[in-house]
Each structure stands twice: as structure tokens, then as C-alpha cells.
Chain A
Amino acid sequence: MPVSAGNSSIQNLKMNKYLKFLFVAVVAIVAAHLVPLFSDGDAVDMVFAIGPAFASFTNLRNIAEQTSNAPGIRRIGVIAVRDLLPTVIDWPKAVGPTLDVNLETMEITTALPVAVGKTVAVIEPADNSAFADFENQGERYYQSYKHMMGFDIAGLTKAQAVEMRKYINTGCIFFVESHDGEIRVYGSKLAPIVLKSKGSSGKKGGDKRGYSNTGDNDSFVIEPPFYPATLALPGMTSVVDDGE
């Protein structure tokens, strides 16, 4: 073996030993920090807690002055829960060890777990017809949240009839976009909203001819969470879609 090649292999051996020592040292440091976390009873309770920890009140006040408080709904995105990934049991989860909602900001932290190629459809409701509400439901200490929403569609065309047929007995999650651009999520995979639709021909000039749709579900643990701007939403657009 040439001398230079021998020196090189000795250097490699030394380097391997040094890297192994470095790896063991890093593992030891990490373990030293983790062991106290899991050996302390309180820490274990925090890690495996099922419900949110009790949060003390802080100040609550109206919207800031010189800020618009525009009511109403701009658009609604919708997806059938059947189009979500079958491997995901529920979304967005607000209880359990792995949450999809940050309860301190009420923002969703996990992107919509939709199957590849399935996208959110956009509903453009008739003017001033869409609403999205929530309320505490139940007597004292039996309370939970009820989510309710609805919208009208003007017209009774064949194309609309084809589309509306798909909603019957179909669990949905709705992405309700208000005029300030915020999107809130109504319904979940395990507690979806099923629309109830009513078509009306109208009786005389000036009457409304079209669909009226409402839906609700209850026993939610939080009010509808916000879908943040940092998460992508396939199928939605940031402006009215051009129909492509």
C-alpha cells in the first residue's frame, strides 16, 4: 500500500471515532434533558393531557376604534368529508394529544388533509343571504358549541340542480370567508354539516326564485376555528374565480 493511502485510511479511522464520540455525546445531552420531563408527574400530565389546560381570563373588549367591523359573508368554500384522506380520523381536532387548532390563537395548524386531486369548491351566494353563526348550547355545565350556516343561490337551472343534488345526505366542511378576508371552518370530519335545501319558484314578480340552504351541527368543543393565511387551501382563490 502506498504511504499516502495508508495515512489517508488512518485519518478516516480517526475521523470515524471522533464522529461516533460526538454522536454519543449529543444523545447523552438530549437524554439528560428528556428524562426529567417524563419522570416528573406534572410534566407527564401536560404531555398526555386530553383536554385543554385551564386558561385564566384576560381583558376582553370591543374591536379597536377606527377599525371596520363589516358583517356578512363574502364566499364559502366547501368540501365533502369523503374527499379527505381516509387515514385522517378527524380534522380539525380541538381535543386530544395531537391538536389541529392552536387554542391560544384559535388558528388551525394543520392544512386541510384532502386526498390528492380533490379540491375545495367555491360557493358564491346570493347577495346578503349567507350567514355563519355559532352559539353555546345546553344548560349550565352541559354547554358545548353549535355551529350553523346557510346561504341562498339565485336561480333554478339544470346546472344548479345537478350540483345541489350532490349535497343531499352528504357531510361537508365549509370554509366561510368574511369581508375582512378571515376564513373560519364550520364542521369537521367526524361532525360534518349536512345541508338542507329548499327550492322556491316564487309566486309573482319581485319574489325570490332559487335555493335556500341551511345546515348545522352541535357538540363542538370550540367555536369555528380560523384557517390562517400561512396554510394553503387547494381550490379556493383569493379573488372571485374566473371559472377555469
Chain B
Amino acid sequence: MKAVKVKLAFPSEKPVNFKIGEVNVRIGKIPTSIEQQWADIIIEQYPGWIELVVKKKAAKLSLTTKEA
């Protein structure tokens, strides 16, 4: 199962536990890796509660040389 990184979208010192059936999905202010199916459920049912943490792409290196 694909995993995604998420964190709370609002300031909170305590993490929030989402009970989904018999599964605990605990999300705090520090990015946490959870299964995508749980992230999809929480984002759909509780919009504005969590946000996906997307890894920033490294800047492309320039291959041009400085002219003398």
C-alpha cells in the first residue's frame, strides 16, 4: 500500500488520533507517514484538518559555462 506523508493543517501541540474502524491514525504537527487510503478518507471527510507534505524537488543544475 502506498504511503504518504501528512501533518496537521492547524497549529496544535497535541497530535490528533483518527479512529477509522479498528485502525488508529495519529497525526501531529511533525510530518508522519501513513497509508494513502487513510489520508484520502481523512482529507475527504475532514477537509482542512490535515495536509499532504510534498517533497520539494531539487533545483536543476545549470550546464552552461560562464563566458570568459
Residues of chain A whose beta carbon lies under 8 Å from any beta carbon of chain B: 111, 114, 116-117, 119, 181, 229-239, 241, 244
**Would A233 and B18 count as touching, CB distance under 8 A?**
yes
B22 surroundings in chain A (CB, below 8 A): 181, 229, 238
Question: At the interface, is chain A mostly helix, strand, loop or mixed?
Answer: loop
* Complex contact A230–B16 (CB within 8 A): no
What is the bound-complex CA distance between A100 and B14, given in angstroms? 30
A114's closest neighbor in chain B, by CB? B46
Q: How far is the CA of A238 from the CA of B17 in the complex (A)?
A: 9
Residues of chain B at interface, number, CB under 8 A: 21
User: With A111-B46, A232-B41, A234-B46 as given contacts, are A117 and B12 in contact (CB-CB < 8 Å)?
Assistant: yes
- CB pair B14–A238 under 8 Å, yes or no, is no
Could you show 17 A-B contacts with beta carbons less than 8 Å apart?
A111-B45, A114-B46, A181-B22, A229-B20, A232-B25, A232-B41, A233-B19, A233-B20, A234-B46, A235-B16, A236-B17, A236-B19, A238-B19, A238-B21, A238-B22, A239-B24, A241-B17
Contacts A117-B12, A244-B15 given; indicate if A232 touches B46 (C-beta within 8 A): yes
Contacts A232-B42, A234-B16, A235-B16; is A116 near B48 (CB within 8 Å)? yes
Least CB distance from B21 to A in Å reads: 3
B59 interface contact, C-beta 8 A? no
Chain A residue at minimum C-beta to C-beta distance from B45: A111
Partner of B23, one of A114, A235, A238: A238
Contact mask B15-53 → A, CB, 8 Å, 1/0?
A: 111111111110000000000000001100110110000
B20 proximity list for chain A (CB < 8 A): 229-233
Ranked nearest first, the 3 interchain pairs of A and B with the lowest CB-CB distance are A229-B21, A111-B45, A236-B19
For the complex, give the distance between the alpha carbons of A187 and B10 in Å.
28
B45 lies within 8 A of A232 (CB): yes
Contact B17 A235, beta carbon cutoff 8 Å: yes
